[in-house]
């Protein structure tokens, strides 16, 4: 459920707006993988609070940081 929330949050906040349609699935998969690794502390906070309330800016910043390093060239297409 947390992964679904992260994907929907990214989409609803415009994080994926400029990702080519053909690469949206890959972007989401890589973003979720990033939240399992480098972003795991933030993911744990969401799992604990069960809401983005009060943490929206933190998640948006983290997703933008991930996106800045995302290459889109493979299933592990992000800088850790």
Task: Show me where the domains of the chain are located.
Answer: 2-69
pTM for the complete prediction? 0.87
Give dist(CA 64, CA 76) in Å, integer. 17
Residue 78's pLDDT is 52
pLDDT (tens digit per residue) in 25-76: 999 999 999 999 999 999 999 999 999 999 999 999 999 999 999 998 765 5
- Whose CA is closest to 35, among 65, 74, 12? 65
């Amino acid at each position: 459920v947390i992964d679904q929330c992260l994907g929907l949050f990214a989409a609803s906040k415009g994080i994926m707006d400029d990702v080519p349609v053909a690469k949206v699935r890959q972007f989401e998969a890589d973003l979720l993988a990033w939240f399992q690794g480098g972003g795991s502390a933030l993911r744990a906070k969401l799992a604990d609070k069960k809401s983005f309330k009060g943490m929206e800016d933190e998640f948006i910043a983290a997703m933008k940081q991930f996106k800045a390093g995302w290459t889109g060239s493979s299933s592990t297409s992000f800088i850790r």
